[in-house]
Amino acid sequence: MADGVLYAATVNNFLATEPIISRATGNPTEFIRTENSVAWLNDPEFVASAFVRESENGEDDKIYFFFTETAREYDFYEKVKVARVARVCKGDLGGQKTLQKRWTTFLKTQLVCSDPQSGTVFGILKDVVTLSSDNWNATVFYGVFAAHRKEGSAICAYSLQDIQRAMAGRFKEFRRDCDKWTSVMQDDVPDPRPGACVTKSLKLEGIGSTLALPDRVLTFVRDHPLMDEPVHPQQGSPLLVQLNTQYCRLAAHRVRALSGQEYDVLYLGTEDGHLHKVVRTSQETSRVIEDLELFAEPQPIRNLQLHQNWLFVASDSEVTQISTSTCATYRTCQQCVLARDPACAWSREQGACRDHHGQAGLVQDMTATKMLALCPTEEGLAEAVPVVEILAPPSARVVLPCAPESAWSSCEWQRPSQDTSAYVLRRDGLEFTAAAATLGEYTCRCTERGVGGVVAAYSLVLGGRGASSAPRSEERSYSVLVGVLCFVLGVLVSSGCLLVHERRRRERLQRELICRERNGLDLMQSTTTSCSHEPQTPSSPEDERHPLANSKKNGSLNGYPHLYINELDTEQARIYLAGVPLAKCDETSI
């Protein structure tokens, strides 16, 4: 919103194939939007926008849009995503003929955020917040960036003056004659300068609004929306780089310290539900002073909103609020001062760290150069740290955490083994493999400017599963041997059963074949149709074994219907039957 008018960066259809930046509300005759061209917007992912008053009378006020889009100026094998900042003038009314109902002040350039130490380029813009003051020249934009193919995030800060300088520089164009992108020479830029807001100086020249701009100026800005010079972060490098953390959301405000100086405090939401509090103590220095785990289950933070002294954090499942002042978590004077939270100060009368509210008589040192003078009576914390016993099975990976009281302090580990190759020093602790050489006492000592003490102490012993190796190893070996023997015995028994079953099956088949052969010979020599091989019994006389001797067969022949009779043999009384078990039967009784 800018003076009650909504400026929107969105898509213009349901297929999301037409991205636009427009003046969405206000006077219908002043509806303005971007040109439908990939030179203006090429598959953008809009992130944030900001309205900045850059003049007293509003003539030079601008709206800035931050997004990630596919770059056309890089000739790579794959498409490259880059972070962009674009701006339009609030008083833009479009052109008279050229760029009618279109922005005449739309310009864009690239935002650069790369880590020179690791060589990682962070080109995906995740979130942007704006910190402004009474002096619009002091406006700072903080952005959260992610790498293309690597894990990690970076926080880069850009000043408004650096963005203005890039927008006032050279234009970039694609030369078809040499098939490459080049910068436009200053002599080829028309006058008045394309993309400039209509201010008092242009009005004195007779140009009262963008409707009066010459066609050559409008044509140039239509074909050259991209600037040649990118915008680099303040101090040329990111304020914060976390190669093992994925930041996704950002909130920021300025907090006044006890001395009256203001410091920028950032709140960073991660993909796994953590909230990092970062204090920028100087132009090039910023540290994480607090890490909070907000949700029971890891889930990404979707939104961060600051309201008065509260921070509202939203995820997919819940919304929570936390106080921006967490001074009560610091228990000693050293911890309170070393944290360098601009909202916190140590009270000698109350013996507690609390929100100062600008009151006098409290202890605070944002530079931490007077630590010994401010807290002279405190000693190290080694006596107050209990020793935690860690039970670890053999060959298990162990991580011993160590959280220093100050983000600026350096920590050292005292360990039983001097073999440095066996340990991995992590940002949050010490990692190694549990073995006989790594058993013993571990102590983490953190100091800053000679002030500090023991933060964590551990005693590593073998325990848990696999602790007693010798008896359990023998028992395990015996169990394995018994299992193998049982398996072999089972295979042998199964094989024997299969062989016996196969042998019996073959014997049964042989008996059936012999029986069938004998039955065939008996039928060829017999003058009857009897197919029964049952012995004669008193209940089954000989005449019952001859079906045709029985006169009652239900009008059929030998118990078979007439449809089975094919032909009669004239030589003998023989009948051919088709489709019955017997192919031919001699009937002498007919």
Q: What is the pLDDT of residues 196-210, one digit of tens each?
A: 999 999 999 999 999
Tell whether the model's pLDDT for residue 504 goes beyond 90: no
Decide if 314 is inside a domain. no
Decide if 77 is inside a domain. yes
The answer to whether residues 289 and 203 belong to one domain is no
In sequence order, the 6+-apart residues with CB closer than 8 A to the CB of 346 are 333, 336, 337, 352, 353, 362, 363, 364, 374, 375
The answer to whether residues 142 and 284 belong to one domain is no
The pLDDT of residue 540: 45
The answer to whether residues 237 and 259 belong to one domain is no
Q: What is the C-alpha to C-alpha distance for residues 392 and 424, in angstroms, rounded to an integer?
A: 17
Lowest mean pLDDT among 107-121, 345-359, 559-573: 559-573
The answer to whether residues 342 and 394 belong to one domain is no
3-state secondary structure of 326: coil
CATH number at residue 155: 2.130.10.10
The answer to whether residues 292 and 333 belong to one domain is no
CATH number at residue 333: 3.30.1680.10
Q: What is the C-alpha to C-alpha distance for residues 116 and 245, in angstroms, rounded to an integer?
A: 18
The answer to whether residues 81 and 214 belong to one domain is yes
Domain final residue, candidates 462, 493, 521: 462
Decide if 391 is inside a domain. yes
The answer to whether residues 93 and 143 belong to one domain is yes
Name the band, by pLDDT with cuts 50, 70 and 90, for residue 549: very low
Name the band, by pLDDT with cuts 50, 70 and 90, for residue 568: very low
The answer to whether residues 232 and 251 belong to one domain is no
Question: Which residue is it, tokens 């302090």?
Answer: 409
Contact by Cβ (8 Å): 106, 89: no
Q: Is 454 left (phi over 0), alpha (psi -120 to 50) or beta?
A: beta
The pLDDT of residue 475: 54
Please report, rounded to a whole number, the percentage of residues in the chain having pLDDT higher than 90: 46
Decide if 489 is inside a domain. no
Domain final residue, candidates 428, 462, 496: 462
The answer to whether residues 102 and 67 belong to one domain is yes
Name the band, by pLDDT with cuts 50, 70 and 90, for residue 474: low
The answer to whether residues 414 and 275 belong to one domain is no
Decide if 120 is inside a domain. yes
The pLDDT of residue 326: 87
| Section 245-274 average pLDDT | 94
- Structural domain tally of the chain? 5
Decide if 472 is inside a domain. no
Q: What is the C-alpha to C-alpha distance for residues 409 and 160, in angstroms, rounded to an integer?
A: 33
The pLDDT of residue 191: 92
Range list of β-strands (E), 328-473: 344-347, 352-355, 387-392, 397-401, 410-414, 423-426, 429-433, 440-448, 451-462
Domain final residue, candidates 415, 431, 462: 462
The answer to whether residues 172 and 81 belong to one domain is yes
Decide if 264 is inside a domain. yes
The pLDDT of residue 582: 46
Range of the domain at 416: 387-462
The answer to whether residues 261 and 348 belong to one domain is no
Residue 274, token pair as written in the block: 């953590």
The pLDDT of residue 470: 44
Give the global pTM.
Answer: 0.71
Decide if 54 is inside a domain. yes
3-state secondary structure of 259: coil
| Section 137-166 average pLDDT | 94
Mean pLDDT over all residues of the chain?
83
Q: What is the DSSP annotation of 368-392?
A: --SHHHHS-S---STTTSPEEEEEE
